[in-house]
């Protein structure tokens, strides 16, 4: 089973660009600093959510019951995924 990681890569690239923009922003009181910071935070949240969804799909491929995998909280998804590395 092939997982599509295009969206995850896109959110990671967006976060990287936002962080670079923050570094280049000299004035923390400027509204652009807030815009870049918010973009970095949102990109991180999207990356984390996308990674969780991909891990759930991968766990289902390892023979886990789809319903049981769907019931797992994010920390448990990470623990179960770590067992299959």
In a domain, 71, yes or no: yes
In a domain, 68, yes or no: yes
Band (pLDDT 50/70/90 cuts) for residue 62 is confident
Are the C-beta atoms of residues 23 and 29 closer than 8 Å to each other?
no
In a domain, 16, yes or no: yes
In a domain, 33, yes or no: yes
The model's pTM is 0.80
Question: Structural domain tally of the chain?
Answer: 1
In a domain, 10, yes or no: yes
Q: List the single range of 1-5, 6-10, 46-50, 57-61 with lowest mean pLDDT.
A: 1-5
Residue 25's domain comprises 6-83
In a domain, 1, yes or no: no
């Amino acid at each position: 089973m092939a997982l599509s990681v295009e969206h995850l890569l896109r959110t990671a690239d967006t976060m990287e660009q936002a962080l670079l923009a923050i570094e280049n922003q000299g004035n923390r009181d400027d509204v652009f600093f807030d815009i870049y910071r918010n973009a970095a935070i949102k990109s991180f949240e999207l990356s984390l959510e996308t990674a969780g969804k991909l891990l759930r799909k991968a766990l289902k491929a390892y023979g886990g019951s789809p319903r049981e995998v769907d019931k797992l909280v994010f920390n448990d998804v990470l623990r179960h995924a770590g067992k299959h590395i």
